[in-house]
Amino acid sequence: MNAVLAVIRRDLLLAMRRKSEVLTALFFFVIVTSLFPLGIGPEPALLKKIAPGVLWVAALLATMLGLQRMFAADHADGTLEQMVLSPTPLGLLVGGKIAAHWMLSGLPLVLLAPVLGLQFDLDVGALGVLMLALLLGTPLLSLIGAIGAALTLGLRGGGVLLSLLVLPLYVPALIFGAGAVEAHIAGLGAGGHLSLLAALLALAAFFAPWATTAALRIALE
Amino acid sequence: MNNKLIHWFKYASPQSFYPLAGKMIPWFWGLAAAFGVVGLWLSFFVAPTDAQQGEGYRIIFVHVPASWMSMFIYLVLAAWAGLGLALNTRLSGMMASALAPTGALMAFLALWTGAFWGKPMWGTWWVWDARITSELILFFLYLGFIALQAAIDDPRRADKAGAILALVGVVNVPIIYFSVKWWNTLHQGSSVSVGKSSMAVTMLWGMLFMALCFWMYSIAVALMRVRAIILEREAHTEWVKELNEVKS
């Protein structure tokens, strides 16, 4: 467990030393969501309707930005090989890296989303559901994304390829995440969607580090 | 005693599988042609005109087999991929990459014929319906698999990375299917189910024969493609250089 915490601490520290990368993804999220009203028009009813989808799609894309860097630097300087050789199971260390990625790319989105939701005329209840859905959904994005990041490690055109691999797998998260907010707005209650999102998160938390580990071992062969 | 058994693992080696595939290909082409002739005859001349949809419904005989095959090929692909990871056989990875283009083709065909069918029946080329959407996502999964393998130069790594992606995909396909199903559903209910079927019996037979035709076609082209992959990857070996078709 100490090793996992050390990995998380190290990744957070590295990110804090180079804040621009984290902030770029955040500003990307803000800018993309702000572009939609400009493209679609300022009618509050329409904006309120598209808000969950827009915020979720923007969150997916913003998470994608940081994915490629999840293992790239460690691969380049040999840290990854040391992790593979270390006595701590690689799956745990990978779990730590995924957790750090979520804290840097997912958590800020969760905290920022209500502010952006206000631009789309969402009420307080909907904002709460949106935050909760993102809180459950963004770790899922980091977990699934880690598999793609490990598979495309060190490949030509890795970034575009990564989005081609990962975005179709994000579909359930998008549907249930945006669906939760929509169901709340429609007065149906978001419980079902949130439960499914949590179930997917549990499933991914179990399998994704394992698949990522297998992919990393192949990449390092 | 053991001598009487067929040594299946013998054919896990590209060298012994290459001639076997060569011998099997004409048979599968023949079966595909035979099933195709019967299937087309049943679907165009025997099957009755649909009461609601008129003659236009006959595209079902291409549409349904193509979508069945697109899903089935993904399962087979994932099975080969898993076998390759578990047993570390080279041929399994080659089979998986040989199947992917055919699967993508079938998914595309299913979407395309579906659009042609949807226009006269529903009055629209495209709807965001559960089955159509999951077929589209399946198509994307195929493209991702092909793109990942194409991006990796080392064939062994390409096989293994592709295998992991295929296995992750196969876990995800049902999740994606049910998530889009709950999201939206307009598609006509499944016309074929075991026990009770809402279709005329001849229609069902026509569809089954067409499905068999597509199946045999898929096997035949996958075997042809795997032969090409074997030649490419084993080009440095003696036995490939000795082959008649390579020497000439």
How many other CB atoms are there within 10 angstroms of residue A185's CB atom? 19
**B175–A200 CB contact, under 8 Å:** yes
Q: Is B118 in the A-facing interface, judged by CB distances under 8 Å?
A: no
Q: Which long-range contacts (CB under 8 A, 24 or more apart) does B148-153 make?
A: B148/A151, B148/A152, B148/A161, B148/A165, B149/B97, B149/B100, B151/A152, B151/A155, B151/A156, B151/A157, B151/A158, B151/A161, B152/A155
Q: From chain A, pick out residues whose CB is under 8 angstroms from the CB of B148.
A: 151-152, 161, 165
Please, what's the largest Cα pairwise distance for chain B? 65
**How many other CB atoms are there within 10 angstroms of residue A90's CB atom?**
19
Please answer yes or no on whether A168 and B144 come within 8 Å at the CB atom.
Answer: yes
A157, B161: Cβ pair inside 8 Å?
no
pLDDT tens-place string over residues A90-121: 989 999 999 999 999 899 999 999 898 888 88
Q: Which of residues 56-75 of B touch A (CB under 8 A)?
A: none
User: C-alpha angle with apex B151: A65 to A149, nearest 5 degrees?
Assistant: 35
Which is more confident, B205 or B196? B205
ipTM: 0.85
| Farthest CA pair distance, chain A | 58
Whose tokens are 């390409």? That residue is B158
* C-alpha atoms less than 13 angstroms from C-alpha of A92 in its C-beta half-sphere: 10
Predicted pLDDT of residue B1: 43
**Shortest Cα–Cα distance, B240 to chain A (Å):** 27
The answer to whether B43 and B61 have CB atoms below 8 angstroms apart is yes
| The total number of residues written for chain B in this structure | 248
C-alpha to C-alpha distances, B145 to A64, B150, B205, nearest whole angstrom: 18, 9, 34
Write out pLDDT tens, residues B118-144.
888 778 888 777 778 888 999 999 999
pLDDT at B129: 77
Domain that holds residue A165: 2-220
Residue B88 touches chain A, beta carbons under 8 Å: no
Scan residues 160-199 of B and list those with Cβ closer than 8 Å to A.
160-161, 164-165, 167-169, 171-172, 175-176, 179-180, 182-183
Res A200: pLDDT: 92
Q: In this complex, do A169 and B183 lie within 8 Å of one another by their Cβ atoms? A: no
Average pLDDT over residues B130-159: 89
Hey, what are B162's tokens? 């592709």
Whole-angstrom distance, CA of residue B197 vs CA of residue B203? 11
Neighbouring CB atoms inside 10 A of B39's CB total 23
Using pLDDT thresholds of 50, 70 and 90, give the confidence band for residue B239.
confident
The answer to whether residues A141 and A106 touch, using CB atoms and an 8 Å cutoff, is yes
Q: Is residue B162 within 8 Å of residue A216, measured between CB atoms?
A: no
Cα-atom radius of gyration of chain A, to the nearest Å? 18
For chain B, the structural domain boundaries read: 24-48+56-187+199-247
Extract the tokens encoding B178: 């049910």
User: Which pLDDT score, from 0 to 100, does residue B133 have?
Assistant: 84
The pLDDT of residue B38 is above 50: yes
Number of CB pairs < 8 Å for A and B?
Answer: 67
- Asked if B183 lies within 8 A of A155 by C-beta distance, the reply is no
Task: From chain A, pick out residues whose CB is under 8 angstroms from the CB of B141.
Answer: 168
The residue to which tokens 């009770």 are assigned: B196
pLDDT at A136 over 90: yes
Contacts of A158 in chain B (CB under 8 A): 151
Main-chain phi, psi angles of B50, to 5 degrees: -75, 140
CA distance A157 to chain B (A): 8
Cβ–Cβ gap B143/A164 under 8 Å = yes
* pLDDT single digits (tens) B14-33: 888 888 888 999 999 999 99
Spatial contact of B35 and B199, defined as CB atoms under 8 Å apart: no
CA neighbours closer than 13 Å in the CB half-sphere of residue A46: 8
b/e string for B125-162 if b means 16 or more Cβ within 10 A? eebebbbbbbbbbbbbbbbbbbbbbebbeebebbbbbb
The total domain count for chain A is 1
The predicted structure's pLDDT at residue B194: 46
Q: Which residues on chain B are in Cβ contact (under 8 Å) with A151?
A: 148, 161, 164-165
Give the pLDDT confidence score for residue A139 in this predicted structure. 94
In eight-state DSSP terms, residue B58 is G
